[in-house]
Each structure stands twice: as C-alpha cells, then as structure tokens.
Structure 1
Amino acid sequence: MIEPDETRGAEAARDAVTGERAGRRRRRRGRGEQPMVPDAAFSSYYGRPVLNEPTWRALDIAGYLYLGGLAGASSLLAAGAEATGRPALGRPAKLGAAGAISLSLAALVHDLGRPARFLNMLRVFKPTSPMSVGSWLLAGYAPLTVAAAAADVAGRYRLPGSAATAAAAVLGPAVATYTAVLVADTAVPSWHEGYRELPFVFAGSGATAAAGLALVAAPVGEAGPARRMAVLGAALELGAFQVMKRRMGLAAEPFEQGRAHRLLRVAEVLTSGGAALAALSGRPRDRRSAAVAGAALLGGSAALRFAVFHAGVASARDPKYTVVPQRERLRARSADG
C-alpha cells in the first residue's frame, strides 16, 4: 500500500495525481518540476506482509532438500557401479542413498511435528499436487534403498538386492528433483519464478553431492564414474543457476543479498573447485585429493540448497518482489490487448 506524505496535508494528498497520469503530467511540465508525491514505498495493510513468510525451519527443510538430492543421485551411481562391476563404488553409493533418504524423511517429519502428519498425506493420491506425489514417491523409494543396501552389506539375496537397486535408480531422478517442483509450486517469488530451471539446478546439485560422497568413500581406481558425474553435475548446477537468475528478473535479487548471497559464493567456489580437483584425481596415489574434492562437492551442494531456502524466505518477506512483477504482467497484458 502506497501512503501519501502526511506533511503535505489532507488536501494535497487528495488532489495529488498519481499513476500513469502523474507520469505524463510530469513529463509535460519538464524535467525541473518536482514530483507532487513521494516515491513509492512498498508496505501492506496494517503493516502485515503481502505473503506469509515460510515458517519452515532452515535446518529441517533445506536439509530435506539437500539429502533428497544426494539420495536420488546416489541410487543412479549405485546402479551404474553394479552394472559395470565396481562393488567398492556401489556399496558406499547404496549406503549413502539409504542413509540420506532416511535422514531426509526424519527432517521432514521433524518439521511436520509428528509422523502421523506424513502418513496422513498418503491417504489420497493427487497427481496435480507435488506434495502428494512426493510423499508417495518417498514412501516407495525409501524401502528400496534400504533393501539394496542391506543385501549388499549382508552379501546375500543378490537377485532381490539387484532388483531393488535398479528400481531405486528408476525413481532416483524424480527423488532428486521433485523438491524443486515442490518449492516452485508455492507463491514465494524467488522460488516460483525459477520453476523452469530449478529442477535442473537441483539435479546438478544432487549429482555433485553423490559424486562427492563416492569420492570420499570409494577407492580411486573404481571412482571414474563419480569423477565424471562430478564434472557434469557441476556444469549443470552452475550453468542452470545462472540462466535461472537472468530469466527471473527482480525475483533474482534476494540471491545477491545477505545470507543467500554469501552461501551462493561458497557454493560456487566449492562446487567448481571440487569438480576441477575431482577431474585431476584419477591417479592411484591421488586418494587424498579425491577425498578433498569429495568433501568440497558435498559442502557446495549443501550451501546451494541453504542459499535457495534463505533467498525464498527473504523474497516472501519483502512485498516488492510480489507487487512489482504483478504490475509488470498487468502492463504487458494491457499492451498486448
């Protein structure tokens, strides 16, 4: 809500011309004319925000976003390792997928308050709801990862274990990216405006995290697929994020401010540096370099998810990120009409 300057008096406020008419009148009077009303200051009725700020806990929800990406990409890596005869790479990938999705579910339930609330989301299946689809996806994916990891550790039930690994790999890409659809389906400006590229950003981020875990835990001789995944994932994550910011316009501004900006800089440094070091760590004696590269990739992926979370909260807090794009869309429609 734009309030007139109270010092000008009620009569001046009543007679002042605002909007496009005011702009045309000021242009006719010349450049030296002082405006009759002050510049717009965005606020809302009774000081209340235009959007309700997300009340999610950063550690729970940003952690949920991060761990889901790590789990989904690790399932793909585990299936590839099993298909190419790399058991020392497949085991940490399977364990990573099972552990990450378990922790992701724990973070989600902790934010919801009690497990019954998650179970209530499974009472119906609504294809048009990302939350409903995601809940069923997690309910089917998590047992598969646990079964695959348990069979590998036990060294028994290889056929059921291989089937569980393959099924988890089929669901893995959806698990790694559905959270991007979930947050973009909200009214939060810095999440919603990135709906086209955000799934690709999360896919790349999940790939770098899974590759990082494998580089830390697997022998260098079997970690070739993880090194390639690190390079490709970093290119996808960083490239898609830059495209997203350019397309978002004003809604990208929270990514360049405050905590989100600092986290993004950390993510860029760790992800690009980790991918470069991973590409150079293919020699058997480069075990330490591979571990450092893996740790950097894990940290960079986490920093990106927390940056996205904090940027969204900041954009919901400031009404201009909601009001200005709406006005621009209205002007565009009027011009087209």
Structure 2
Amino acid sequence: MVPPADFRSYYGRPIVRPAVWHHDIAAYLFTGGLAAGSALLAAGGDATGRSSLRRAGRVTALGALVASTYFLINDLGRPERFHHMLRVAKPTSPMSMGTWILSGFGAFAGAAAAAELAPAPLRRLTTPLGTVSGYAAAVTAPALATYTAVLLADTATPSWHAAYPELPFVFAGSALASGAGVGLIAAPVDEAAPVRKMAVLGAAMELYGAHRVETTKGILSEPYAQGRPGKLLRAGRTLTALGVAGAVLGRRSRVVSALSGAALLAASLATRFGIFEGGIASAKDPKYTVVPQRERLARRNRS
C-alpha cells in the first residue's frame, strides 16, 4: 500500500499569493467603519434634537473620512490611482463600487460637517443643507461600513473568502459600536440613551459575526485564533464587553461613559486589525489552501 501523499508547496512558498496590502488598509477598514457609524450617530442626533450627538457625529465622520482616504491613497502608492478608479463604474468589482461609495459618502459627510462648523451668521442658511446632507450620508453609511467586508471576501485569501457570510455582520457591528463610542465620549449622560442602544446592537452583531468566523470555518478558523490575529480578536471581544457593560451600568457617570466609548473604539480597531492579519496569515501557509480543497474533493467523491 502506498501511503497517502503529504502535501508540499514549491520550496515552501505560499500557493495563494498573500494580499499586497499593508497595515494602511487595516487602518482604512477601521476609519471607514468609524465614519459610517458616526454618520448614523449624527443623523440620529439630528432626528431626536440631540445637538451634541449631531455635532460630534458630523465632525468625526468627516475626520475619519479624511483619514480613511489618506490610508487608501497611501497604500495605492500613487494618488492618481484613486482618481483613475472613478473613470469607470463596475458593479461586479467591490473595489470599483467602494471607490464610488466612498466618494459619494464623502461629499455628503463633508457638506454636513461644513454646515455644522459654519459661522453663526450663516447657520440659518446652512442648517437645511446640513440636515439633507447628514441624512444622505446616513443612507450611504451601511454600504460604506460593509463593502470592505465584500472586498476582503472576494479575494482568494482562504480565511477571508471562507468567512464571506459573516464578515458583513462583523464590519457593520463594529461600525455601529465605534459610532456609539464617539457618542458616549461626546454626549452628556442625559442625551446618551439612544447611544447605549446603538452600542448594544453593534456589539451584538460584531460578537456574533466574529464568533462564527472563529469557530465555524474548520481549519480556516485557525488563523483567527492563533498568534497576533488571535490576540487582537480576543482583545477586541474583551474591550467590547467592557465598553457595553460600562455604557449600560455607568449611565449616570460622565467619566464611565467616556471610558466605555474609548473601549468601544479600541475594540473596533483591534477587531479590524485582527480580521486583516488573520487573512494574511492564512494566505502565507499552504495548508489553508490545500487541506480545504482535499476536504471538498473527499466530500464530492463520497456523494
């Protein structure tokens, strides 16, 4: 009997080429989600007459958007590449659609923030513009928060591709939680009741998605549980739990609310970096490409 062949890659090199993205893209994932969550926070504050939430959300959405654009362009290497991607719109390309989503959201978020920061004499004229633009940014925000999940899952990177059903939940929940973090830091405690609900919803979505990514993908869940990605994702879970607990139990304390908001922001950052690094790790090790392929072939042969 010939023993089963052991898989080997060519001189130990990866079978799937790891993504050429650097940590600028991981930071882009975080700031894009933060911008989306903050836009939703601002729209909720505007709709309920909570001016501190509206102002914090609009300003943060613009700041996060500027940072997000910087990280994306810096990773592209040549700034004109971003402009070139706007020459076409390809619905089947997450990168093409993401460029248009980012640009449209940027126009709305920028107009809303400009109206918010306008001098007092112009406030009467700019308020309607800010309201319309703020709601338009909020409508675009879910697409901004989740298109990056589609972008990662659409690659050949094994652990990203396998997690395509859950990554949108992780990224949407992370965006909501980070937006709630901004609200908890900026808002007085008597205005923060909707923010606490936003934090609980975002944390529930994020933890649910991350749990499934880390436990239901067989061998492809390993990169999310080991090494640096595992440490980051565990830190994200812990910070999320602390942030939600502080938001719910410390609702009368301005200090506890602010600390809870900071914990939620740190949790979102850790989660995004953990997901990013877990996928990169899975592409570097050939077994995460070969073993799932063999398992699929074995199931097909049995059927």
> Is the TM value for this pair above 0.5?
yes
1:271 maps to amino acid: T
Deviation at 1:55, TM superposition (A): 2.3
- Tell whether 2:21 aligns with 1:56: yes
The answer to whether the aligner puts 1:268 opposite 2:237 as a matched pair is: yes
Note the C-alpha offset of 1:126. 0.7
Q: Which residue of 1 aligns with 2:280?
A: 313
Q: Is the 8 Å Cα contact of residues 43 and 49 (structure 1) preserved in structure 2? A: no
Q: Which residue of 1 aligns with 2:40?
A: 76
Q: What residue is the counterpart of 1:335 in the other structure?
A: 302
Q: Which segments of structure 1 move beyond 6 Å, counting only runs of 4 or more?
A: none
Q: What do you get for the CA RMSD once the two structures are aligned?
A: 1.3
Question: Does the 8 A contact of 2:94 with 2:150 survive in 1?
Answer: yes
Query: 1:101–1:142: 8 Å Cα contact kept in structure 2?
Result: yes
CA contact (8 A) 2:171 2:206 kept: yes
Aligned partner of 2:203 in structure 1 is 234
What residue identity is the alignment partner of 1:80?
G
Q: 2:8 aligns with which of 25, 28, 43?
A: 43
1:225, distance to aligned residue in structure 2 (A):
1.4
TM norm structure 1: 0.86
Following the alignment from structure 1 to structure 2, what is the Cα–Cα distance between the partners of residues 45 and 203?
Answer: 39
Within 5 Å, give how 1:165-314 maps onto structure 2.
165-283=134-252, 286-314=253-281
TM-score by length of 2: 0.95
| Cα offsets for 1:263-304 (capped at 9, x unmatched) | 111111111110110012322xx1100110011000011000
Letter in 1 for 2:199: A
Is the CA contact (8 Å cut-off) linking 1:267 and 1:301 kept in structure 2? yes
CA deviation after TM superposition for structure 1 residue 245, in Å = 2.6
Which residue among 150, 157, 162 is the counterpart of 2:126?
A: 157
Q: What do the CA deviations read for 1:61-101 (whole angstroms, capped 9, x no partner)?
A: 11000111111111111111101111111100111111111
Question: Which structure is higher in RCO with an 8 Å CA cutoff and minimum separation 6?
Answer: 2
How far apart, CA to CA, are the structure 2 residues paired with 1:125 and 1:333? 38
Aligned partners of 1:303 and 1:114: how far apart in 2?
28
The answer to whether the 8 A contact 2:13-2:286 is kept is no
Checking the alignment, whether the CA contact within 8 Å between 2:149 and 2:168 is kept in structure 1 is: yes
Give the share of equivalent positions with the same residue, in percent. 54
Task: Give the drift of 1:307.
Answer: 0.5
Counterpart secondary structure, 1:254 = helix
Contact 2:214–2:225 under 8 Å retained in 1: no
Distance (Å, rounded) in 1 between the aligned partners of 2:212 and 2:234: 16
User: Which runs of 5 or more residues in structure 2 are unaligned?
Assistant: none
